[in-house]
Amino acid sequence: MLSIRILNKDELKEAVMLKITCWSEELNGVAENQINFDEEYKFFIDWMDGAQDANDIRTLIGIFEDGSMLGCAFASFADIYDCEENGIELNGLWIYPSARNRKLSLMLLEYILSIYMPLGMEKMIVYSHHYAPSNMFYHHLGGQIIKYDLQMHGKLEVDIFEFNLEELNHFIQKKLNEETAEQEIS
């Protein structure tokens, strides 16, 4: 049975390892994966612990099956230069390769939206490397590219997507309900 929950600090270690594993795939040979586990883990512990001081709601969640993590997602309020008001940023979304094609990303996004939409959030910002496999996923979800950025010393072109949360939520519900209908038919 699948469950989604807020990550504890031990589970965050696995989530950081998953990010590092997926990062090489996301870079798609354009740049070298230079993420250091200890630095990245410390960053996310500090980020999580600093939410109240930053007047932010920072969400670090995982999706689990029989106690094993299948994927994770991180979100927070968007920075003002990304979204002037009422926005969140999807700071990361990673699924183990062996667990893909099960709509787990949609389930994680649905959970995130359930936290932020009742707070009046209307938009979501996502940074995605232009040539990363996940880039097509964000296009498929209906994201609109609002600007571009160059990262890693100009080696990495990044598309910055914006989503209307109402539209995204409708799309996610439709896709998740399609799966339920398919299961009822079989």
Least confidently predicted of 42-46, 121-125, 181-185: 181-185
For the chain, the average pLDDT equals 87
Which of 14-28, 71-85, 157-171 has the highest average model confidence (pLDDT)?
Answer: 157-171
State both tokens at 135: 């880039």
Count: domains in the chain? 1
> Containing domain of residue 137, as a range?
2-185
Smallest CA-to-CA distance from 160 within 127, 132, 136 is with 127
Residue range 106-120, pLDDT digits in tens:
999 999 999 999 999
pLDDT-derived band at 81, boundaries 50, 70, 90 = low
Per-residue confidence (pLDDT) for residue 33, from 0 to 100: 61
Other beta carbons less than 10 A from residue 64's beta carbon: 18
Helix (H) or strand (E) holding 157: strand 156-164
Whether residue 13 is predicted with pLDDT greater than 90 in this model: the reply is yes
**Backbone torsions φ then ψ of 63, nearest 5 degrees:** -110, 130
Beta strands in 11-155 (DSSP E): 59-65, 68-77, 87-95, 123-129, 144-151
Whether residue 184 is predicted with pLDDT greater than 60 in this model: the reply is no
Whether residue 28 is predicted with pLDDT greater than 80 in this model: the reply is no
Per-residue confidence (pLDDT) for residue 39, from 0 to 100: 93
**In terms of pTM, does the model score above 0.85?**
yes
Per-residue confidence (pLDDT) for residue 183, from 0 to 100: 47
Give the domain CATH number at 68: 3.40.630.30
Pairing of strands 123-129, 87-95: parallel
